[in-house]
Each structure stands twice: as structure tokens, then as C-alpha cells.
Amino acid sequence: MTTMTLKKVSEIARHHGVTDEEYQKIVATLGRTPTVTEIGMYGVMYSEHCSYKSSRPVLRLFPTEGPRVLIRAGEENAGALDIGDGLAVVFKIESHNHPSAVEPFQGAATGVGGILRDIFTMGARPIALLNSLRFGLLSKPHVQRLLKGVVSGISFYGNCMGVPTIGGEIAFDESYEGNPLVNVLCVGIVRHKGLVKGSAKGVGNPVVYLGAATGRDGLGGASFASRELTEGSESDRPAVQIADPFLEKLLLEACLELIQTGVVVGIQDMGAAGLTCATCETASRGGMGMDVDLAKVPRRVEGMTPYEVMLSESQERMLVIIQKGEEKKAEAIFKKWDLHAVKIGEVTRGPLLRIYENGSLEAEMPASSLTTEAPIYERPARRPDNFGKKNLSLEDIPVPDLAKSFKALLGSPTIANKRWVYEQYDHMVRTDTVVLPGEGTPVIRVKGTKKYLAVTTDGNGTYAALDPYRGGMIAVCEAARNIVVSGAEPIGLSDCLNFGSPEDPEVFWQFKECVRGMAEACRAFGIPVTGGNVSFYNESPRGAIDPTPVVAMVGLLEGFSPVTGSFKKEGDAVILLGETREEIGASEYLKVVHHRKLGPVPAIDLTQEKVLHRILLSEIRKGRVKSAHDLSEGGLAVALAECCVMNPRAPIGVRIRKIDFPLRSDAIWFGESQSRILISVDGKEKENFCRYAKEAGVPATALGEVGGNTIQFGKAFSISVQEAESIWKESLRGILGG
């Protein structure tokens, strides 16, 4: 094993973002100067992307335990929750922001591939994908290019894999112009006994490399994801991986079949940090060591160095630890699926991870020194001096023409129907999608049972930018509300926390406040956090993005059909649950119509939100609720219009009578007061329902009834259903073409 000059070590360490203090920690651990391969391995594992060195202390605020939790956050590749009858749901959301900014198609496609592998390495079959996307203003040609590339990459990979993309969300704001966000969620199902972990156990057990050959694509991807995007980031294209979903489909089927045989001791995908991460994490989790011979690693490029092989992030690769003596059984399955597999090492008595090439020792270190013993920082956090000063005065905001404002909102890219996007996704493959995109909260059937899973992704960067604590809290509340309106009970969440540099005290304050708000809401609702992802350094020459906590939540529904958001029948009564306040701060209306991005963020009362959820779930289970739709961007007016036009088979109008809320008219129609849900019930049930809700502590206002060909907003304004449907469904296509 050859060492290097201190100058060379310093150059490589700086390339990986290793600080002087971290370098001294590495030297102290090894007791010598590291080799090129070693400094590369420590560099990628010490990156924010892999080590969570800034976020780990803050993430401890999240509740991670509960009666359904089978695998807790941080223990494995994804979390797992019991859904009864011996079944578990496995799910996780992750980001692929930086690669998608540089190469949108491949960045998004490999993001889908990576999250799929996280699920099926647990033994679960992926049954659904969702995505949460953020882009700059869609009027900019380069933003349109990014959007088209990302959507193409997501659809390409998911469609080829035969996993339905059933929903998600997209928002547009100038904050994301230089740094789009691509967060992808995958949900899988597995029997409890089929859950498998990513641990290396058993001295002498073979370590098998499975899947694609290793190339130079993706080199330094974890380090790339742990620094800001700059004008020169185009040169980071080698850090963006290349996708092959057809190979991944073979991997998926082979791994699931292999796991069923019981010969798998542990399994880990080679995602961020590639072979380095897969070897050190499996060894560390199992409390074992591992010897690896890189000469046996399949390569598709001549002349690759050990450093490059260990750091490559070539896609569609797995590391599998198999019970000794069962190699032939595994080989037969790999051959059946036409996959290349080779033994590259074996499990040893801990704690050392040793990397050889042609008999030469290239790296040797305790496996845990790369994982659980990576540095952790208590970053300074400082509340910005201008916090709370970006609040509007209502006197400075004139009440505009309501009809024109409504049409502008309904057609704005963040609110308009996203069918231009979801029509590119196969959302019906596997034939289990029950609520289709654009019709309400996505719901998927658990095949062979009477169970349904409702799944959502939610977040609002504007709220978090103006008040990160309240913004984080609202993200959880909105996700839970979206689950509840389908009739499902929220059972767990995964998060994707997108922020600027943690080394900026103001950004880190935003991060801590967001997590604090989210954790408080999770505890109030009894919803455990099962895992997720922190994405820092989302910055460009324009500055940091708005802090964007994205919540992916899963709900369980059993024994009855889910509720959708569209109005169903002429004469049904329309009721607004919740209180409308004079709140237009931080709203989409304020941004779109008045071109202002000011607070205050709407107030949120967790106790009131919980009562709202309880009442609605109770009434849905009694069969008394015909439709339910939460109020978010665009407020009451947009929610009413969506309930009229979101059912593609039978758009229908609504007659709203005079509303006597003592508020500004724009706050009534476009304000985004929280804890509100729009429902419809049989006309004969209206008075009983309102009385019951009020007695339970939830304000309930009978607004009018379903029917006609017009959406009548009291005496304020009206629009034909046909025109509203055209604006909502065609706006995005009109901007993007095709």
C-alpha cells in the first residue's frame, strides 16, 4: 500500500471538500497518511450527502417510533410500517437536485432508479412512484427545457420499469431558477417475513457484485451533491450517472426472487458513493469487516484506478451478501435473469474494511470510521435580521377585479392542472391505481387485499421562506389533510429537506426551525418519521433556494372505497369546514396577482387541525361524505373550481350563495387560511352535518349546492364550467406546447 506526498493528499482532500480538521481525523484514525483511494473514500462518505454531518443532531427532533413501525428511520435504506395481515409498506423520498440541474433527463431518470433500488433492496416490490418538483418561472426558456428534461427522465425510467407514477406536485418560483428540485418517492409492499436488511453477517460469507459493469459515470456524485451549483457546473456532467431501466428491471426481479429463497444475508444498492458506501455500510451495520478484491469488479472502461472503481456511481449495481454454500442457488437465479454476478470478496471478523487490487492493499480502515464515526457538526444558527419584516400591510394591497384575478390564478403554472406532465407517465400499469392523477389524493390498491394506500407529497417553499417554523408545521398538516380527505388514516411520513448551505448560519436557522415545526406537528398527530433525505447546498449564483421541506405521507384505508375531490350529483350540499380568516400573506394570489412575496404566513392550530381530521374521517366512514378537497394554493375559489372540473367524466357547476364572512373579498375567495376542507353531502344531510361539526368544535358553513353549468361565486363573480375547465386544463400545455 503506497502513501502519497502531503501536497497530493491535500489536493484530493480539497477536491472532496474535506476540511483540515477532517483530514487530521482521518490521519488519526489510520495512524498514517492516507492513500489516494482512502482519501477518496473518506471524502465521499464525509460529504453532507452521505454523512448528514450537519443535519443529524437536528433530525433527532423527529419522532421515529410508533406501534406500526417495523424499521426505524436511519436503520436501513428505507422505513417500514405494519399495515396488518402480515404486510408492510416500505417507502422513502430522496432528492436528485444537482444532477437534474446539470443534465435534467439523466439526473431525473437516475433519481427514479436510485429510489426504486432503496425499496426493493428491502425485499419490497415497488408499487407506486410520486414526485415533488420545483422550477423557476416557466416564462424562461431554460426553465422550460429543465422541466421537459426532468419529466421525460421520470417517465422514461418509471414507464420502462413498469411501476406507475400516480401523482405528485409541481411548483414554480424564481427562487428555483438556477437550482431546480427533483424529489422522488417510491412505495413498496412486502410481507413481514420477507423484509431484508443491508447488513453483512457471517465470517466467510461471499460478497457478490451484481448488475452493470463499472464505468467513470457518476464519479464524485456524492461530493457534487454537497456543494453549490456555479456557472461552471456544466463541467460536472461526469458526476451525473447514466440510466438503464431495462437492466434495473432484471435486477429487481432477480433480487426479489433471490430474497424469497432465504439465502440473502444482506443487500445494498450502489447509489451515492457507489462501492464505497455499499461495502462500508453493510460491514458497519453488521459489526463485521470485509475484504474486497477490485480486480474482480466488472469494468466497462479500460485503465480505471482503484480510486475510480470505489467512487464510481454507475447505476443498476447491487452488493449482495449470500450464505456460504448457497452460491449455486444464487447463480441459477442470476443466470435466469441474464445478469452478470461475481464474487468480489467475503465477510471477515471485524472491524476492518480492506480493499485490494491484484494483491496490492489499496485501502484499509475500520468500516465504522466511514459511517457512524463520521464527523458531526453543531452548526451556528442565526435568525435573519429581516425576519418578520417581510410582512404586508393590508392597506397597501388593493382589492382587484375578482374575476380577472381568479382566472389568472386558475391558469397559473403552480395551480393549473398538470396533465401535460402526468399524461407522459404510465399511471395505470399493474392495474391497481384507484384514484387517478388530477382527480384527488392518489390512492393505490394493495393487490389481493381490501386495503388501499393513499399517498401524497406536499410542501410550500414560500411559507418556509417567510416563516420556516410555521412553514414546516404546515407542510405536515397539509400532507395529513390530503390523506384524510381520501378517507385514509395517516400512518407515517418520509421527508425531503431541501435547503441552501448549512455553513450559512441564516440558512441553518431556517433548517432547524423547519424541522422543529415539522416535528411538533408529527408528535401532535402521532405520525412517525420513517426516514428521508436532507439536500443541502441548493444554491446557484442567484443565491440559495427558498427552504423547501417536502413531506411524503402514506395513509391506510381498509374496508371501503376512497373519496375523491370532485362534486358528484346535482343538488348535493356544499359545506366549508374550518375557519376563514383575513389572511392573504404568503399566498399564491399575492404572488400571481400583486407580484408580492410577503407574509405573514397563515396561522395554524394543531389542535383544531386534529379535530378537523377526526370529524371528517368519522363522517367518511359513515358514508355521509360524497366528496372532499382540501384548500391550499388559490384558496376557496380555486378549490370550488377544481371540485367542479376535476372529474373528467362529468364536470358540473356549483351555486354558492352570498357569503357573509366579515372579511375583505379577496381574503374570502383567495386567502389560504389553514385547516379548511371543502366537502359535499346529500342535500338532506346539510343541516345535520353542520350541526354535528359545530358541536364537535369545527366551524361548518353551508355555501350552496352542486348543479348547473356555471360556477357562481356568490354575488362576486361567475364563470362557466366550460371556461374554467379550459383554463385549468390547458394553461400548462399552452405554455409548453404539445
pLDDT tens-digit map of 697-706 = 999 999 999 9
| Whole-number Å distance between alpha carbons of 167 and 184 | 11
Residue 501 in domain? no
The answer to whether residue 262 sits within a structural domain is: yes
Which residues have a catalytic role annotated?
Answer: 49, 96
Q: Which DSSP string corresponds to 31-48?
A: TSPPPHHHHHHHHHHTSH
Domain-located, residue 736 = yes
What is the C-alpha separation between 627 and 435, in angstroms, rounded? Answer: 13
Q: Which residues of the chain have pLDDT under 70?
A: 1-9, 220-239, 738
554, β-bridge pairs: 455, 492
Nearest to 665 by CA among 391, 393, 405: 405
Say which residues have a Cβ less than 8 Å from residue 419's Cβ, sequence separation at least 6. 437, 438, 729, 732, 733
Give the SS3 label for residue 466: helix
Can you list the positions of beta strands (E) in 20-105? 69-71, 79-84, 87-95
The CATH number linked to 600 is 3.90.650.10
Residue 389 located in a structural domain: no
Q: Tell me the whole-structure pTM to 2 decimals.
A: 0.95
Any bridge partners for residue 168, and if so which? 131
Q: Which three three-digit cell numbers place residue 413?
A: 403554472
Which of 323, 349, 371 delimits the end of a domain?
Answer: 371
Task: Give the model's pLDDT for residue 224.
Answer: 45
590, amino acid identity: L
Residue 345: beta bridge partners? 207, 292
Per the CB < 8 A criterion, the answer to whether 694 and 700 are in contact is yes
Kindly state the helix (H) or strand (E) to which residue 316 belongs, with its residue range: none
d(CA 253, CA 234): 36
Q: Is residue 514 part of a domain?
A: no
> Residue 51: which H helix or E strand, with range?
helix 48-51
Give pLDDT, residue 226.
Answer: 47
CA 5 to chain centroid, in Å, comes to: 43
Q: Given this model, what pLDDT does residue 482 score? A: 98
Strand intervals (E) in 203-359: 206-211, 264-269, 289-293, 317-322, 341-348, 352-357
Q: For position 737, what pLDDT does the model report?
A: 85
Q: Give the three cell numbers for residue 639.
A: 378549490
Kindly state whether residue 75 falls inside one of the protein's structural domains: no
For residue 350, what pLDDT is reported?
84
Which of 371, 386, 415 is a domain's end point? Answer: 371
Domain count, the chain: 2
| pLDDT reported for residue 559 | 87
Does residue 233 form part of some domain?
Answer: yes
Q: Which domain holds residue 322?
A: 197-371
Domain end marker among 371, 392, 420: 371
What amino acid is encoded at 620 in this protein? I
> Does a structural domain hold residue 518?
no
Cell match 428505507: residue? 78
**pLDDT value of residue 91:** 98
